Amino acid sequence: MKKEEKLIEVMQDIYVELFAKSTPAADFNQLVEQAVPDENGMKDIGFMNYEISQEVSDEILDRHCKKLPKSDRHVVKMAVILGCSPKYSN
């Protein structure tokens, strides 16, 4: 598996867990599957409709990222945080 594929797989796993533990809980894969493309062709999953505590989010990110080389951890964390993760509730 290529490095990029591995990072995408880890990010996918993180998003699945973040949305499973968000309020309301959701199935990330189902959200993506049912998403309607916006005017730019990007799928809109309505991620701002979901909340998670920063503490829980950080724990999920840290647990998944510790499987990665140190050089990739920050990249994945920032990509997830700035991507389509649920907003912080606190």
The per-residue pLDDT for range 50-72, each reduced to its tens digit, is 999 999 999 999 999 998 999 99
Q: Pairing between strand 36-37 and 43-44?
A: antiparallel
Q: Which of 90, 87, 14 is nearest to 51 (CA)?
A: 87
What's the whole-number mean pLDDT along residues 8-26? 97
Residue 1 pLDDT exceeds 80: no
Q: Assess contact for 87 and 46: CB atoms under 8 A.
A: no
| Per-residue pLDDT tens digits for 67-82 | 899 999 999 999 999 9
Q: How many domains does the chain have?
A: 1
Task: Quote the domain boundaries for residue 21.
Answer: 3-88
